[in-house]
Structure 1
Amino acid sequence: MTRWTAVCGYTDLLPERGSCALVGEQQIAIFRDFDGSLYAVANQDPYSGAYVMARGIVGSRAGEPTVASPMHKQVFSLATGVCLDDGGTTLPTYPIRVNEGHVEVAV
């Protein structure tokens, strides 16, 4: 059964900026795109082990929303979590939604 956890208000998230939330025991990096889409990925950089993905650089490649690790600059798809520089590495992704103005994440 999916358990949704409210983490913040939708309007609290700035477009193209990451935020971090602790959901259960998981640190989740949350992003709001300029078109209003929301993405949730693990906050831990799989290359360095540091919990920094929420501070990554948001962008896109071929129309796909991305975040670049602030540590070593590997680029990850926000939609799938796949590293676009090394397809064998991924960030866990999490379901995210807006419910009555609140952003909710399922872990």
Structure 2
Amino acid sequence: MTVLTEALGLAWIEVCPLEAVPTGGGVAALLPDGSQVAVFRIADGVLFGLSHWDPCSGAAVLARGIVGDAGGVPVVASPVYKERFDLRTGECLDAEGVRVRTYPVRVAGGLVHVGSA
């Protein structure tokens, strides 16, 4: 795993080759601090990063969720109880006040990197 530190204290952590992230799906990766991130690619190729931890079920499963659209909002539905999380903000659309952490994602040299402070 490669970690690149840039200005403002943001570390970019290499998680996988771009082709490992299926269109309309997600992959999970373990970060150096022990947290787990889920990286998703929607149909138009845009990538999103969320915590892999589903706060509603208490399981690390979000990368295995169903990626879709809810009224124009890109979402992942948890594979456990089907709560939908906004891929842009981490907000749960089905449980008030519930949210998961979001991570910035970039592609460099064909590799997906997740930003972590």
TM-score bracket, shorter-length normalisation:
over 0.9
Q: Give secondary structure in 1 for the equivalent of 2:24.
A: coil
Q: Structure 1, residues 55-106: CA drift from partner, whole Å, max 9, x if none? A: 1111111111100111111111001000011231001000110111110001
Q: Give secondary structure in 2 for the equivalent of 1:54.
A: helix
Q: Please say if 1:73 is aligned against 2:55.
A: no
Other-structure match for 2:25: 17
How do residues 42-81 of structure 1 correspond to structure 2 at under 5 angstroms?
42-81=51-90
Read off the aligned partner of 1:68 and give its amino acid letter: A
Q: Which has the larger radius of gyration?
A: 2
The CA RMSD over aligned residues, in Å, is: 0.9
For 1:87 and 1:59, the matched residues in 2 are separated by 20
Structure 1 portions without partners, runs of 5+ = none
Superposition TM-score, scaled by structure 2 size: 0.88
Read off the aligned partner of 2:112 and give its amino acid letter: V
* Larger relative contact order (CA 8 Å, sep ≥ 6): 1
Other-structure match for 1:92: 101
Q: Give secondary structure in 1 for the equivalent of 2:94.
A: coil
Q: Please say if 1:2 is aligned against 2:10.
A: yes
Superposition TM-score, scaled by structure 1 size: 0.96
Q: Which 4+ stretches in 1 moved above 4 angstroms?
A: none
For 2:47 and 2:88, the matched residues in 1 are separated by 9
More strand as a share of residues: 2
What is the percentage of aligned positions where both structures have the same residue? 45
